[in-house]
Amino acid sequence: MLPGTLYLIPVPLAEDASAKSFTPYLVDTINHIKEYIVENSKTARRFLKEAGLKTPQSELIVHDYGKHNRDSNTTDFFKGLLAGNDVGLMSEAGCPGVADPGAEIVAMAHKKGIKVVPLVGPSSILLALMASGFNGQSFTFHGYLPIDKLQRANKIKELEALAERHNQTQLFIETPFRNNPMLEEILRSCNLQTRLCIACNLTADDEFIQTKTILEWKKQIPELHKKPAIFLIYKQ
């Protein structure tokens, strides 16, 4: 028997953004699949309902690969796939496998000879890059920077130097409740003419995306506390 297919199903980035986030093909796919591997069961079930799931949720098999279960045995995740059933993989928000631990599930699927199919949907990294006006031919996403203040300042200076040396956009994120200190450090550490894009609450009704020089940002500093944001640095 041939194994099933692992579908990578994007999840909306913000509340009430489902209509911006799914395609008719995605809706057809979720109504075909009866088994899911998800980072957050509550988020996944809510999205499936919003996206137009017709299957009663009580009939779904949902495996949780969230942070409290990542050290557990994942053999059960693949039983359905290896038996020929199609399965969906879902992140908590955005695209599975992109800045997301679901990449480990995808890697195991390839090792087991399982077909992997990514579906179209929102990626905060790409949306921010698209809207920044920075180099989209060469860019690097660094994830989270160090928490230690000195290490963080040194890392920001390093990224600024990389941006200038390689004509390359540098992207990174921070835990939302530490966004304001992160922004303060960027404004302290970078050259006044370095450009910074802040992309915040992407796809939400209060979406905020602006690109300015460090000097311009210092004149009017936005409030980013507890708001999902991506920071992009670029210096030619």
10 Å CB burial of residue 182 (0-12, 13-18, 19+) is buried
Same domain for 100 and 162? Answer: no
For the chain, the average pLDDT equals 94
Domain termination site, one of 118, 147, 167: 118
Domain termination site, one of 118, 144, 179: 118
Same domain for 111 and 131? Answer: no
Integer distance in angstroms from the first to the last C-alpha of the chain?
55
Quick: pLDDT tens for 15-42. 888 888 889 999 999 999 999 999 989 9
10 Å CB burial of residue 213 (0-12, 13-18, 19+) is middle
In whole angstroms, give the CA distance from residue 123 to residue 79: 29
- Beta bridge pairs of residue 75: none
E strands, the chain, are 5-9, 35-38, 61-64, 87-90, 115-118, 139-144, 169-173, 195-200, 208-213, 229-234
Same domain for 181 and 222? Answer: yes
Domain count, the chain: 2
Q: What is the CATH number of the domain that holds 160?
A: 3.30.950.10
Same domain for 137 and 73? Answer: no
CB neighbour burial string for 155-176, b if at least 16 within 10 angstroms, e if fewer: bbeebbebbeeeebbbbbbbeb
Query: How far is the CA of 195 from the CAs of 85, 113, 137, 210, in angstroms?
Result: 48, 44, 17, 10
Strands 35-38 and 61-64: parallel
Query: What pTM, to 2 d.p., does this model score?
Result: 0.91
Same domain for 211 and 155? Answer: yes
In whole angstroms, give the CA distance from residue 124 to residue 34: 27
Alpha carbon 224 to chain centroid, angstroms? 18
In whole angstroms, give the CA distance from residue 107 to residue 68: 20
Q: What is the CATH number of the domain that holds 113?
A: 3.40.1010.10
Same domain for 128 and 229? Answer: yes
Beta carbons of 8 and 14 less than 8 angstroms apart: no
Same domain for 173 and 90? Answer: no
Same domain for 57 and 139? Answer: no
Q: Is 192 helix (H, G, I), strand (E, B) or coil?
A: coil
pLDDT value at position 72? 64
Domain residue limits at 229? 124-234
pLDDT value at position 68? 60
**How many other C-beta atoms lie within 10 A of the C-beta of residue 208?**
15
Same domain for 169 and 203? Answer: yes
- Beta bridge pairs of residue 6: 87, 116
Same domain for 130 and 102? Answer: no
Quick: pLDDT tens for 147-205. 999 999 999 999 999 999 999 999 999 999 999 999 999 999 999 999 999 999 999 99
Same domain for 107 and 135? Answer: no
pLDDT above 70: residue 128 = yes
Same domain for 28 and 114? Answer: yes
Domain termination site, one of 99, 118, 137: 118
Quick: pLDDT tens for 207-221. 999 999 999 999 999
